[in-house]
Amino acid sequence: YLHHGYSKTILHFDLKSRNVLLDESMTAYISDFGIEKFIVGHKSSTLTTTLGTMGYIAP
């Protein structure tokens, strides 16, 4: 999980290779948080619009 040890769940809707930076130890860092959603608690939610970049969003 990308945010191991963080207490809230974060969904990244537009994560693509150009937004991931690597340091000399190959540790990944996200450089753009333009579209993300914090999931609070155990409430379910429904996303009714498509977010992200075509070609990088899950089918």
Q: Where are the domains of the chain?
A: 1-47
Please provide the average confidence, as pLDDT, over all residues in the chain.
69
Query: Span 11-28, mean pLDDT?
Result: 82
Q: For 30-49, what is each residue's pLDDT tens digit?
A: 877 665 555 555 555 565 56
pTM assigned to the model? 0.43
Q: Which residues contact 23 (CB under 8 A, 6 or more apart)?
A: 29
pLDDT value, residue 42: 52
The pLDDT confidence band at residue 24, using thresholds 50, 70 and 90, is: very high
Q: How far is CA 6 from CA 29, 51, 56, in A?
A: 15, 23, 25
For the cut 80, the answer to whether the pLDDT of residue 6 exceeds it is no
Catalytic residue flag (residue 23)? no
Selecting among 14, 19, 30, 52, the annotated active-site residue is 14
